Structure 1
């Protein structure tokens, strides 16, 4: 039965979930995931600016963000490889704790360096930190899926993770700037490095996905099952694995070469990161996701039709045979499993993943130009409206998302989130043409009076009203979307499957920003907001289709006859 069908929404379920130990650690891990991202891809630039590092050199630091965009490339290793000695901590926890302690150490060491005199070491450590942070993200996502149960539900864990992540973004952004102004950058980064070390120490006591002797034996049997009668012949699996390994190897090499070239000492030889993502990004996704998915679907078809399958068991005889089985289990089976389980619905799921967050993700880079340039608000006004009031609204949206997930169910909350995320683009469209509607709403609700009495003015109130509406919708949609992604991946392959799906969400927004910027130049912000609202309608339709599909599955499982009793 699907998770959606199993869940019985209610306030008691919500209360039990919030009190659970796993929920507390999920909040902690969400904070640990969000803090390095804020410090390495945001606040670090403020430190470099204060150190009078030139903009061209700072542009190189933005390349460390590629670790997050392509983190799925090393996710198979995190699913299959154990760290010597630390494996006793647990399948996921060994990687989580290692990444957190490494991040803490990196931030502390960064605090001892001067960006002006040790820029090489500074950039190397920042790159290693981004790699460790992206690795932590992959394993935390897998941990969330693996430890979820009927009390600490996947919906609640997903919402709490988002809350922790957003709190970390506020701490690593606004709080870090506040601390740096008064205490200096070295003290600020040392303090947050110490925080990560404490989180890593606390992580030692977190529950982990059960990997008992029985589970290890099941994994061993799973490998041996690949050589039973009816399974794909090893010679066919070998060529399929070779093709997929070459594609993934090319992608890793391509990204690696780009990073090395970008960190070269001659600025004139550094490649354009935007052009790389725009041109090579789609090719990397095709090579590592699309073509391997087609190969996995082809293998599933062969097995169902009984073609190129073993007629009798063929046990592994050599280390090469065992290496083939291990590699196939790591790279091919995660795709084969999800495609075999979803079937034709894979198209719906991928379409939903590609479109669900595009309404708020694609224009994020143009938010400040819109506020500061188009609407002519001051930096202080934008900071108050976006960073402080906006983050509060986002947290409220996450709380509402968590409550709705429990009370009305995952697919209903997901669909509502898609509707609201698309509709709130119209709030900004109104601002783009003067904001008369937002001003009227702000005045009628008394919000303008409140903001005025707190030191603002009615013009600031209408901006805060629009940001609040969008951030509440984004928070609700984000909680529902993370819960949905977590629900459709299999526990045995959670690291690879979740990393692949979530990377598609990130990449689409990145690829679309170039075209969006040109569209803003040619047509203006109003047209763009209306267009993104319309694109959001595609996600709404796909949510309804997916809701119908899951409902049909639930009905079929509930109406299925009970299994025949077994007699000795």
Structure 2
């Protein structure tokens, strides 16, 4: 997006303007729907529930792999780009997929409310698979919807409203679920989340169907072309060697944070904190700390460009893992919990904004939905698989050793960034 095209949509004035438009409100509610199911099926809320049911750490780590659809959504994103969801086709290409995905999330969360992992994890794993597939599909469609519902000049503002809605969804799926579980039951928590999915469903029904963008390249109309062209375009633009290096860097960038994600909930419980403490500090205060870090990252990227901020963000994510050593040394102390969560979430927010700016510079607007889905999946894939076996590492060593080792995983990322440094200068300038 050029400076001219972005004029009037940047900074706080652009965000305030975006909040006053119907599309912005729609994107805020769609963002809420995307954030709501993530923690209950793919991260800390699920692992906390499983630990609360008495499962061992190794099993919790393995069960977390059932949410892998969030990492592989780029595989079916081309179909979402090309076709409509026929049973709901009267709503249009984008909204038909949105409704199908949202109703799937609602059904999955309701079914998870009725499962009892202490009696067997088979049904729970099946419904986590189903819900993560629906949630990942919803994410891909919303990304495409955001791109097509407004001109390029409005994208930054709409992304801001989407992000705010997404973070509020995380609060509901994290802190809200934990509060309901602590004062009621896990069944009540998941049923409440299922009911909240009515908000994004209403936004989809009331929102307008966007006009599909005009292609600036010749698209193949066959089934194979729908999958092949977005990927061939990426390597045609960057070359094979640089393209692979860029994809590897994206995959490693958030690895130190991703690798500890599954063990966070069990660590908090094992450190003597109640579910209410976890909800207040990690999933309420922590979300707002993350928003602060995201805005800080945006300001720094605007002032200094994303290349130097990639270095700061990668290093910050790794070093913030060491803050959890405070909690290991001072269990049950709320000040240590707040200190660790502040460091972790500010670093995550900062790095996340920087990574989005970098990934956006890599995408071809002719295949934005598919290429962005690929990059987002790669940004989470390596750490997700490592997180699946992280419980065994903790049981073999200790939480403290685990946090130190996770911080050291930044070394390959920084080495790769050093190689990429002169090769991404031109993209940064643009």
Is the 2:5–2:153 contact (alpha carbons within 8 Å) kept by the matching residues of 1? Answer: no
Give the match for residue 140 of structure 2.
138
Is the 2:29–2:199 contact (alpha carbons within 8 Å) kept by the matching residues of 1? Answer: no
Q: Matched residues in 2 for 1:528 and 1:53: separation?
A: 22
Is the 1:14–1:403 contact (alpha carbons within 8 Å) kept by the matching residues of 2? Answer: no
Give the match for residue 334 of structure 1.
230
Give the match for residue 33 of structure 1.
34
Q: Secondary structure at the match of 2:212?
A: coil
Give the match for residue 479 of structure 1.
353
Task: Name whichever of 335-344 and 124-133 sits farther off.
Answer: 124-133
**Are residue 365 (structure 1) and residue 262 (structure 2) matched?**
yes
Aligned partner of 1:15 among 13, 16, 22: 13
Q: Matched residues in 2 for 1:410 and 1:366: separation?
A: 30
Is the 2:321–2:404 contact (alpha carbons within 8 Å) kept by the matching residues of 1? Answer: yes
Give the match for residue 169 of structure 1.
170
Q: CA deviation at 1:137?
A: 1.8
Give the match for residue 178 of structure 1.
179
Task: Name whichever of 77-86 and 101-110 sits farther off.
Answer: 101-110
Q: CA deviation at 1:407?
A: 4.9
Structure 1 residues 143 and 345, CA gap change in structure 2 (3 angstroms)? farther
Is the 2:45–2:173 contact (alpha carbons within 8 Å) kept by the matching residues of 1? Answer: yes
| Aligned counterparts, 1:169-208, within 5 A | 169-180=170-181, 188-206=189-207
Return 5+ residue gaps in structure 2 as ranges: none
Q: CA deviation at 1:93?
A: 3.2
Task: Name whichever of 381-390 and 23-32 sits farther off.
Answer: 381-390
Give the match for residue 390 of structure 1.
286
Aligned partner of 2:78 among 76, 79, 83: 76
Return 5+ residue gaps in structure 1 as ranges: 224-324, 436-455, 558-568
Q: What do you get for the CA RMSD once the two structures are aligned?
A: 4.4
Structure 1 residues 474 and 59, CA gap change in structure 2 (3 angstroms)? closer
Give the match for residue 336 of structure 2.
462
Task: Name whichever of 6-15 and 415-424 sits farther off.
Answer: 6-15
Q: CA deviation at 1:468?
A: 0.7
Q: Matched residues in 1 for 2:28 and 2:93: separation?
A: 20
Q: Matched residues in 2 for 1:36 and 1:463: separation?
A: 25
Q: CA deviation at 1:82?
A: 1.7
Q: Matched residues in 1 for 2:268 and 2:30: separation?
A: 33
Structure 1 residues 405 and 330, CA gap change in structure 2 (3 angstroms)? same
Aligned partner of 1:222 among 219, 222, 238: 219
Give the match for residue 295 of structure 2.
399
| Aligned counterparts, 1:109-508, within 5 A | 127-146=129-148, 149-154=151-156, 157-158=158-159, 160-180=161-181, 188-206=189-207, 209-211=210-212, 215=214, 222-223=219-220, 326-343=222-239, 344-368=241-265, 370-371=267-268, 373=270, 376-379=271-274, 384-429=280-325, 434=329, 459-508=333-382
Q: CA deviation at 1:62?
A: 5.0
Deviation sequence 1:493-543 (CA, Å, 0-9, x none): 233322322222322113334776666567755555444434325434555
Give the match for residue 552 of structure 1.
426
Aligned length: 422
Structure 1 residues 372 and 171, CA gap change in structure 2 (3 angstroms)? closer
Is the 2:148–2:210 contact (alpha carbons within 8 Å) kept by the matching residues of 1? Answer: yes
Is the 1:105–1:197 contact (alpha carbons within 8 Å) kept by the matching residues of 2? Answer: no
Structure 1 residues 44 and 184, CA gap change in structure 2 (3 angstroms)? same
TM-score scaled to structure 1, two decimals? 0.61
Deviation sequence 1:254-289 (CA, Å, 0-9, x none): xxxxxxxxxxxxxxxxxxxxxxxxxxxxxxxxxxxx
